[in-house]
Structure 1
Amino acid sequence: MDATLGDVVGVLDGLYDPAWAESWDAVGLVTGDPAQPVRRVLFAVDPMRVVVDEAIGGDFDLLVTHHPLLLKGVNSVAATTPKGRLIHDLIRSGTALHVCHTNADNANSGVSDALAAALDLKDTRPLKAMPADSMDKLVVYVPVGETQAMIDALAAAGAGQVGYYDRAAWSSTGEETFRPLDGADPAIGKVGEVERLASDRVEMVLPRHRRRAVVEAMRAAHLFEEPAFDLYEMAALPSNRGGGRIGVLAEPLPLKRFAELVAERLPRTEHGVRVSGDPDRLIEKVAVVGGAGDSEFDRVRAAGVDAYVTADLRHHPATEARAHDDGPALVDVAHWASEWPWLKDAERLLIAGLAEQGSTVETHISTLCTDAWTIRL
């Protein structure tokens, strides 16, 4: 079955939720009609002129890029500017443009996962972990004979999902007591008389955005008109999403050999691979950040890594980082090269996600080098 642009964007948003993007970023659909068919998809790092020409000339219906075309607000997309001309050409040709930027940086698997995998890093974890999704815990007291029906109702509303398990609940049996007053319509007991009955305390976790639905399901399923329940907001824990990755090499390598490995595994650029550190230093624990990474030096040093691989390192932050005796060796690569490995992951995951829906698309990864530096002397 042919996919629509809406189908493709739905899969991409599932992989790279726009909510994971940084507040300053501009991600999502730039041009295109969600109802239009998508047969061919081109993946690239930058929505530059040569890449847009490749997409239009190759009859691609959708161009997916990592970097935004319109990162800052604009008042005009007139064809009098380079970006305005790109917008006009994309719309005129019917070529959609979709951007996955910092939402792909923070995803798992995302941009830094792909960079870590290219360098054979194992046991990876985020360098800058995002908090896990906000969670609540519902505690409700249920007559013993109604417990399993209540768990079913709460699970159907979204509670009790823990990893690869659903309907996860904890219960213990105790005694519940109450006295119905005038105006009550008790399912058990009589007005004015103290009632005691065996009840289960049922506990289930739920995503906070499902709070209303779960509480409504609990009320609808409960035998009592006034169920006794508690709702707790759980503390936020680190997730497996976030910027950068920390991992280890299967075997320690001298810095010079590790830098050679980086050069071998990433696309060639005129920028090349720059290294700061003792060439004989053994490298085992490594931090990576796809794209510009000198804002993360404090986290990298606190992580106690032997080397830090990233892009766009500036003179002063780099020299300040190297001034620490316990600081890591630095391996600086081209911005474009550090993010290009992600394109293969995005392609693979999109194909798999569409296949689950019964759709197929033809895909291609652009190999055009759009790094800003074109000559090295």
Structure 2
Amino acid sequence: MTKVKDVMNVMEEIAPKKLAFEGDRIGLQVGSPNSDANRIMVTLDVLESVVDEAIEKEIDLIIAHHPFIFKPFKEINWDSEKGRITKKLLTHNISLFVAHTNLDIARGGVNDLLMEKLDLTDTDVLVKTTEEKLYKLVIHVPKSHENQIRQAFADAGAGFIGNYSHCTFNLEGIGTFKPQEGANPYIGSEDELERVEEYRMDTIVPEGILNQTIELAKKAHPYEEMAYDVYPLKVEGESYGLGRIAKLAEPMKLRELAQLVKKAYDVPNLRFVGKEDKNIRTIAVIGGDGNKYISQAKRMGADVLITGDVYFHTAHDALGMGLAMIDPGHHIEQVMKEGLQQQLKEKMPSLQVHISNQKTEPFTFLTTD
């Protein structure tokens, strides 16, 4: 029986809490970590219609991108939409979990998914927000268990450098120890000095998986007490941040790109800023509201910034600095529904993961016949 806490652990792998902006309302907002979570529904927004759909589908856990509780409630009034939603969630034992800016920033998250829709996968971070610390883990192991420890590193996600896995450095030497009274040694006898041919194995470990790597290594290590050292490194780890930037294989005109964006993101309408025949080679994308990042996009060499909720004066500022903008709306973040469903299914195959079918785009576009 899958519990909410099991899904929360997987969500921590997909979109770690530490990536979120300070003060962002993420995590479990309604429910208990010990509640059942066999049927899950992924949604962009938590509206009453979405909760009604969850009730109909007998959903145990809703995972949303936009927080339901952002400002603290002063009251829970059943005559208000927020009050009715809260009552329905509690009455039907539906838990609610939110992954917001952490899912925007995470690898494979909202911004990567938006880029993939444009067939752009070789991307860089647009606005760096954090950088993962790296450590060198050193373990002393008898030669007989060298391969087991190396595999334990890999299973934990350690020892990866670029596109290479199982990366270690091995130095041969002699380990000495004398088992004391009460010890249960794998090699040697009580109160006798033992000399063992060992390897000193070094590998690189990101901070987020350091403890997990040590624990897996201990399980693979034959000794009662595993000798190891951990050293912080000044080498830069993987950068995380908001938005993505990438180059097109071939340049295209702004109007042509706008038409591509409209089709790729399946929006009925969009706005763009700039001359229709402007040549576009480098594209920046920020899901949601990216108005305050126009200068960063320009500094990074973007010809156009694709984002939602573009303000009138921001559009003027972008024109003045020679940056085109395409505004397909905030709702394009719904790309996370299908993307997150796929990731959850891969990590937890036994789960039933549904996508909300409710329309949460608040705007209706009036077009001429």
- Answer with 132-141 or 344-353: which moved more: 132-141
CA shift at 1:29, angstroms? 1.8
In structure 1, distance between residues paired with 2:143 and 2:277: 65
Q: 1:332 aligns with which of 320, 324, 327?
A: 327
CA shift at 1:57, angstroms? 3.5
In structure 2, distance between residues paired with 1:89 and 1:128: 39
In structure 1, distance between residues paired with 2:23 and 2:30: 20
**1:209-248 → structure 2 map (5 Å cutoff):** 210=210, 232-235=231-234, 237=236, 239=238, 241-248=240-247
CA contact (8 A) 1:252 1:284 kept: yes
1:346 maps to which residue? 340
Instruction: Please tell me whether Structure 1 or Structure 2 has the larger radius of gyration of its CA atoms.
Output: 1
1:316 maps to which residue? 313
CA shift at 1:305, angstroms? 1.6
Percent identity between the two aligned chains = 27
Q: TM-score, normalised by structure 2?
A: 0.78
1:294 maps to which residue? 291
SS at match of 1:284: strand
1:204 maps to which residue? 203
CA shift at 1:127, angstroms? 1.4
CA shift at 1:369, angstroms? 3.4
CA contact (8 A) 2:10 2:347 kept: yes
In structure 1, distance between residues paired with 2:164 and 2:338: 30
2:118 maps to which residue? 119
In structure 1, distance between residues paired with 2:198 and 2:57: 67
In structure 2, distance between residues paired with 1:311 and 1:162: 36
Q: TM-score, normalised by structure 1?
A: 0.76
Alignment size in residue pairs: 347
**1:230-309 → structure 2 map (5 Å cutoff):** 232-235=231-234, 237=236, 239=238, 241-268=240-267, 272-309=269-306
| Structure 1 residues 152 and 165: CA distance shift in structure 2, 3 A | farther
- Answer with 53-62 or 203-212: which moved more: 203-212
CA shift at 1:95, angstroms? 2.2
CA contact (8 A) 1:42 1:366 kept: no
Gapped regions of structure 2 (runs ≥ 5)? 176-190
CA contact (8 A) 2:158 2:206 kept: no
Supply the AA of the counterpart residue of 2:160: V
CA shift at 1:319, angstroms? 1.7
Q: 2:361 aligns with which of 341, 345, 370?
A: 370
**1:79-94 → structure 2 map (5 Å cutoff):** 79=78, 81-94=80-93
CA shift at 1:246, angstroms? 1.2
TM-align CA RMSD: 3.9
Report Cα offsets for 1:48-83 as digits up to 9, x if no partner.
Answer: 222222322343333221100111233543435432
Q: 2:159 aligns with which of 155, 161, 165?
A: 161
1:66 maps to which residue? 65
CA contact (8 A) 1:154 1:214 kept: no
Gapped regions of structure 1 (runs ≥ 5)? 177-184, 190-197
CA contact (8 A) 1:133 1:236 kept: no
SS at match of 2:89: helix
| Structure 1 residues 160 and 57: CA distance shift in structure 2, 3 A | closer
| Structure 1 residues 257 and 375: CA distance shift in structure 2, 3 A | closer
Supply the AA of the counterpart residue of 1:29: L
CA contact (8 A) 2:253 2:276 kept: yes
1:181 maps to which residue? none
